[in-house]
Amino acid sequence: MGDVVVLPADAPRRVELERRGWPVVARSFGAQLDGDAVERERLRSLVDRAGLPVRALDVADVDAVLALDVATVGHYPGSVATRHEPFDRERATPSATRRGFGVWSGDDLVAMTFVDLLVGDDGAAAGLAAGSASAETDVTVVAVGHRGRGIGTAVKAASVLALLDAGVTRFRTGGSADNPAIIAANTALGYVRDEEWVTLEAGAL
Ligand SMILES: CC(C)(COP(=O)(O)OP(=O)(O)OC[C@H]1O[C@@H](n2cnc3c(N)ncnc32)[C@H](O)[C@@H]1OP(=O)(O)O)[C@@H](O)C(=O)NCCC(=O)NCCS
């Protein structure tokens, strides 16, 4: 891979680079869901529809998290902007500011989402004072044999509902524009796309 630059899709520098022979090799997006726009009943029904237990992850689940991550690490579409770095033990460990939610089929963790919390100065990191916290989805993944059954949507919906109750007021997510499943899941939850990004690569023509 040559030199790579990630820019807002409407950045003037994009035009300049394309003129110099840097084609767009990937597109990605950001999206937001405001807490007061969350349709709780709708999200609850999306969780229930999965038909499997969904719950917050804790430190006892780290081995299961790492196993699901290893099994799916190469499955993320896109380029550098949406690349998934394999979890180490630290990133696989839920904490007050890094919440994890999982879906279980028996003893198997079959889906998970990890969300990083950004807490304002007036909010204790663990306490999440209302009005001061926003959440950024790091990753959402479903085990191969369980995709396309509403489980990815369900685990994201469960995370939004739990974090809303904990005082989060703004949810952000993002991903590859070439990932129709996660785009549809986000839309079902009420996320609105508000950022478009392009990845340009030198000499990729
Ligand atoms: C993206 C991912 C998490 C979605 O989970 P999932 O359980 O398969 O998705 P769901 O069954 O909840 O489907 C969500 C929506 O996408 C649609 N969908 C599912 N798979 C699709 C596909 N391959 N192509 C197009 N649409 C698809 C569903 O119809 C549904 O749309 P709807 O709400 O309009 O009915 C899963 O495919 C995955 O783990 N992919 C690899 C990792 C990844 O890309 N993660 C996202 C970036 S962090």
pLDDT tens-digit readout, 136-148? 999 999 999 999 9
> What pTM was computed for the model?
0.94
Least confident of 81-85, 98-102, 150-154, 186-190: 81-85
Nearest C-alpha neighbor of 84 from the set 114, 62, 118: 114
Distance 200 CA to ligand 1 centre (A): 26
Distance 69 CA to ligand 1 centre (A): 17
Residues 66 and 55: their CA atoms lie apart, in Å, by 17
Mean per-residue pLDDT, 117-133:
63
Q: Tell me what pLDDT residue 2 has.
A: 75
Residues 120 and 102: their CA atoms lie apart, in Å, by 26
Distance 203 CA to ligand 1 centre (A): 32
Counting ligand 1 atoms within 8 A of each CB, the residue from 45, 85, 140 with the most, and so the one to mutate, is 140
- The reply to whether ligand 1 has any atom less than 6 angstroms from the CB of 199 is no
φ, ψ dihedrals at 179, nearest 5°: -125, 80
Q: Tell me what pLDDT residue 167 has.
A: 92
- The reply to whether ligand 1 has any atom less than 6 angstroms from the CB of 179 is yes
SS3 call for 103: strand
Question: Which atom of ligand 1 has the smallest separation from the CA of 141?
Answer: 39
- Each residue of 34-49: pLDDT tens digit? 999 999 999 999 999 9
Q: Where in the chain does DSSP place strands (E)?
A: 4-8, 24-34, 54-56, 98-105, 108-119, 133-142, 168-176, 192-201
Residues 58 and 29: their CA atoms lie apart, in Å, by 29
Q: Tell me what pLDDT residue 72 has.
A: 97
Q: Tell me what pLDDT residue 124 has.
A: 54
Q: Tell me what pLDDT residue 203 has.
A: 80
Residues 111 and 90: their CA atoms lie apart, in Å, by 19
The CATH homologous superfamily for domain 28-196 is Gcn5-related N-acetyltransferase (GNAT) (3.40.630.30)
